[in-house]
Structure 1
Amino acid sequence: MTSSPPVPAPIARLRAKLLTALAGDPTGMAPYVRAIAEGEDGGYFVENGPAWTVHAGMGTLVAGIRALLLQALHPGALAGVHDWSRYREDPIGRLTGTVRWVITLTYGSRTQADAETARVGRFHQRVRGTYVGGDGDARGYTAEDRDLVRWVHIAFTDAFLRSHQAYGGPIPGGADAYVADWATAGRLMRLPDPPLTEAALRAELEGFLDRGELRRDERVDDVVRFLRKPPFTGLMGVAYRVLFAAAVATFPPRVRKMLGVRRSWLPVKTTTRLILRITERALGSGPRAQDMARLRLRRLGL
């Protein structure tokens, strides 16, 4: 039997950094990922369905950046991040916290997903403060405000859908199926009527823009500057800059103008797909969250 060729050291280092950022563990098997194999039910999302497919795609690397940029345009959501998040001191920690929620809801059992939702909810109960709205009036906020929960859900869904459409493959059932599938996550976060179609999602996003609830200010500019060039070095830093440009390219001109960003002169789609292929190779073929979910499903005979 022949042994596999050794992985080049730069690729091995990149893999460890990526897995630490994405799963909170350099092996990709953080305790919460291993726990996905446990549980006694099939979870909220069907195997190989729309949410499984989109969230397993490499386009999620673009979507994460896009979601943070878009969410920053709501002054209430941005106030919560600015006042309560350590994204500057610990950007990897904030990223892994969000990734943990997405992975657990998508691939975990209902019991595990409910526990993760409750964990996030307990943190949100403490998040409160004031912000200046798009109309210039001061307002109080909590992370549980329905308007803010709706905005975060819409921004997330739009980011992952648009990024997958641009840089991923087909979605089972199409875009409407993904929006309807991920609406389950919105309901778990106590959003009673999340959008169920691509058209409804687009209309709600346009509604936020048309009502003047979104705005650009110095805090938005600060977030954009940080997200444009976070403290990543080496290959990861080069790859990130391409992914940032890829995220910007998926925005309509109206949103790019609000964020104060421009499309790159680079051939973004071609370069991004190359970076995503390299990243996929760096991550390797080891077990992933969906593999842990399949172990649970096979054990349960589902």
Structure 2
Amino acid sequence: MTGILEPVRSRLIETLAGRSDEVPRWVLALEDGEDDGFFEAGSAPWVVHGGMPTLVAGVRALLLQALHPGALAGVRDFSRYREDPLGRLAGTIQWIHTVTFGSTGQAVASTQMVKAMHKRVTGTFVDGHGVTRPYSANDPELAAWVHIAFTDAFLTAHERWGSPIPGGADGYVSQWATAGELMGVAEPPRSAAELRAQIGAYTADGELRGGPEVEEIVRFIRRPPLRRMLRPSYRVVFRAAVASLEPRHRAMLGLRTTPLDRVFPVDRAAATVLAGAGVLLGPQTQAELSARRRLARLAAD
């Protein structure tokens, strides 16, 4: 069975990490840090970011983030998502896992690297009220939207398809606020209710909008250039991400419930796909395994 599944496993690892022939150096480096990091082993961020529902969460986060015209402008104007979509995905995973599983110094250094790359991401966009405004990827306002969209996506997906979260939803939102602060977010939400209230405020205030540019991004996210053997599973992941969105956000994205969704609810299919991914990738990410080796070394010193 292992031999039969190995090609699928290799393609999945390649999609998530950028290559399948070796463990990335940054993952191995997580073993070398000199303290426990911002989050202890078994904490809410460890559980949420180490779980298979992150596969759905990542897609959901991209969809939700695209509704903010400032965030969308940065992706459209500067991202090489069409030429190198897997590279962009691997870079995002590197930051998430380094902040989650790395030492304090590694988390801070990774964040500074991201912020340095963001310095060039500047321009103008037309906001939800039709006003032309400047944007910068490092603006606290834009960073705040990216943070809450990310947090909501990973929390929602894990609540729907994952294991119990230590400290519950509030525990995850409160602890992951640290990542928002690292990125320059002034007042990241610290409870699930506050998180949803902030997203609701963006929506009610007209800061989010759909339109042709959003729909173009949605078309790419719906059908990215994945290996053929991964496409059937990805279609389920995409449907699951869409189903987990609020109806008002689905409408803004131009996504509608289809007869297929009513006849074949996606939750069970998504659970099956995620369970299969867990079999292929193992119960713990390579980043978590490196972090646990670091913690064992520190405990023995």
1:42 maps to which residue? 36
Residues 22-171 of structure 1 aligned to structure 2 (within 5 Å) = 22-27=16-21, 29-171=23-165
Q: Distance in 1 between matches of 2:231 and 2:68?
A: 28
Q: Distance in 1 between matches of 2:285 and 2:211?
A: 43
Name the Cα RMSD after superposition: 1.4
SS state of the match for residue 134, structure 2? Answer: strand
1:7 maps to which residue? 3
Structure 2 counterpart of 1:216, one-letter code? G
Residues 275-286 of structure 1 aligned to structure 2 (within 5 Å) = 275-284=273-282
1:196-250 alpha-carbon deviations (Å, 9 max, x no partner): 0000000000000000000001110001111111112423111110000000111
1:166-198 alpha-carbon deviations (Å, 9 max, x no partner): 111110010000000100000001112100000
2:292 maps to which residue? 294
Pick from 208, 218, 231 the counterpart of residue 237 of structure 1: 231
Q: Distance in 2 between matches of 1:280 and 1:146?
A: 36
Residues 171-250 of structure 1 aligned to structure 2 (within 5 Å) = 171-250=165-244
Paired residues of 1:19 and 1:28 also in contact (CA < 8 A)? no
Pick from 265, 268, 271 the counterpart of residue 270 of structure 1: 268
SS state of the match for residue 301, structure 1? Answer: helix
Q: TM-score, normalised by structure 2?
A: 0.95
Structure 2 counterpart of 1:78, one-letter code? L
1:268-299 alpha-carbon deviations (Å, 9 max, x no partner): 01101111111111224686211110100111
- Structure 2, unaligned runs of 5 or more: none
Q: In the comparison of the two structures, how many residue pairs are matched? A: 296
1:19 maps to which residue? 13
Paired residues of 2:140 and 2:186 also in contact (CA < 8 A)? no
Structure 2 counterpart of 1:160, one-letter code? F
Q: Distance in 2 between matches of 1:182 and 1:176?
A: 10
Q: TM-score, normalised by structure 1?
A: 0.95
Tell me which stretches of 4 or more aligned residues in structure 1 moved more than 2 Å: 262-267, 284-287
Q: Distance in 2 between matches of 1:52 and 1:6?
A: 27
Shift of 1:27: 4.8
Structure 2 counterpart of 1:231, one-letter code? P
SS state of the match for residue 187, structure 2? Answer: coil
Q: Distance in 2 between matches of 1:181 and 1:6?
A: 38
Q: Distance in 2 between matches of 1:49 and 1:111?
A: 19
Shift of 1:44: 0.7
Q: Distance in 1 between matches of 2:2 and 2:44?
A: 35
Q: Distance in 1 between matches of 2:201 and 2:208?
A: 10
- Structure 1, unaligned runs of 5 or more: none
1:131-176 alpha-carbon deviations (Å, 9 max, x no partner): 1111111111111111100000000000000000111111001000
SS state of the match for residue 107, structure 2? Answer: helix
SS state of the match for residue 3, structure 2? Answer: coil
Q: Distance in 2 between matches of 1:285 and 1:267?
A: 26
SS state of the match for residue 299, structure 2? Answer: coil
Q: Distance in 2 between matches of 1:248 and 1:156?
A: 15
Shift of 1:65: 0.1
Q: Distance in 1 between matches of 2:103 and 2:14?
A: 23
Structure 1 counterpart of 2:298, one-letter code? L
Could you say if the C-alpha distance between residues 287 and 73 of structure 1 is closer, same or farther in structure 2, counting changes exceeding 3 Å?
closer
Q: Distance in 2 between matches of 1:270 and 1:256?
A: 20
